[in-house]
Amino acid sequence: MNWASLQGLLSGVNKYSTALGRIWLSVVFLFRVLVYVVAAEEVWDDEQKDFVCNTRQPGCPNVCYDEFFPVSHVRLWALQLILVTCPSLLVVMHVAYRQERERKHRLKHGPGAPSLYDNPSKKRGGLWWTYLLSLIFKAAVDSGFLYIFHRLYQDYDMPRVVACSEAPCPHTVDCYISRPTEKKVFTYFMVATAVICILLNLSEVTYLVGKRCLETFGPRRRRPHHRDHLPDTCPPYALSQGEPPQDGNSVLMKAGSASMDAGGFP
């Protein structure tokens, strides 16, 4: 599989992601994809070839290997990485759909027509839901694969020796796994990075939902009203022709003093 092409496709996700989303993408490529391509495939390259059992019965090593390793680690990780990264492409496709719709709208109604979207890449409306559902799907996929690994390989363990009594083995035989400690370390590392990605996804979901709730139900800021004109109650004689324009409060004070001088009472 060409992981470089996948990285090129997902590089555009950074433009439409939050800060947590950018951290998630960095963790995926630096600590999952890169480790998988550079090291994990090499570690499991000899998994079946060096799986040795202390018997010469034909077919026994193959049956025992299938019993303890029904699915290869590297193939499960490859499938997991594909399913985890694909939802991010949906966000890019949704933004591209918005941009294409905006372009057709401009061609049909002219460049002076009002825009369909204030910002096609801004997470509002359907794009917000697409982004939110992609986060939930990614967290669910990682959680599901962690459960699968736990069920197939108890506690993500890699024993040095396994006992096998499956047919056509003549009796219970011992089979030896090549480089079990190294494989265990890589397994724990991949599990830990998957847990970190799940926490990042859930944190981003909480951030998006919380931000939307604050925008919807939070207190709205009132815009200050500036009085740039004289109040309607100001009498026309309050301003003399020789005086410069004054603000409303000083005009009212002068008007009040004029009325005091005229009648003796406010």
pLDDT tens digits along 244-266: 545 444 444 444 444 444 444 34
Helix axes 180-217, 19-28, angle to 10 degrees: 170
Cis peptide before 111 (omega within 30 of 0): no
Q: Residues for the chain: how many in total?
A: 266
Q: Which of 266, 217, 233, 227 is nearest to 247 (CA)?
A: 227
pLDDT tens digits along 204-216: 999 989 988 888 8
Q: Which of 147, 21, 145 is nearest to 77 (CA)?
A: 145
CB atoms within 10 A of CB 45: 12
- Residue 163 main-chain phi, psi, to 5 deg: -100, 130
Which SS3 state, helix, strand or coil, does residue 94 take? helix
- Do 35 and 190 form a contact (C-beta atoms < 8 A)? yes
CATH superfamily of 7-217: Gap junction channel protein cysteine-rich domain (1.20.1440.80)
Distance CA 25, CA 34 (A): 12
Average pLDDT over the chain, rounded to an integer: 76
For the cut 70, the answer to whether the pLDDT of residue 169 exceeds it is yes
Whether the CA torsion 180, 41, 32, 87 is positive or negative: it is: negative
Tokens representing residue 53 in the block: 């059992």
If one compares 180 and 43, the residue with the highest pLDDT of the two is 180
Q: Beginning with the edge strand found earlier in the chain, give each strand of the sheet holding 52-53 in spatial order.
A: 52-53, 173-176, 161-164
Tokens representing residue 127 in the block: 């794009």
Which SS3 state, helix, strand or coil, does residue 26 take? helix
For the cut 80, the answer to whether the pLDDT of residue 221 exceeds it is no
Distance CA 255, CA 233 (A): 10
For residue 38, the one-letter residue type is V
Long-range own/partner contacts, residues 86-90 (CB < 8 A, 24 or more apart) = 87/133, 87/134, 87/135, 87/137, 87/138, 88/10, 88/13, 88/25, 88/134, 88/138, 89/9, 89/10, 89/13, 90/130, 90/134
For the cut 60, the answer to whether the pLDDT of residue 175 exceeds it is yes
For the cut 80, the answer to whether the pLDDT of residue 28 exceeds it is yes
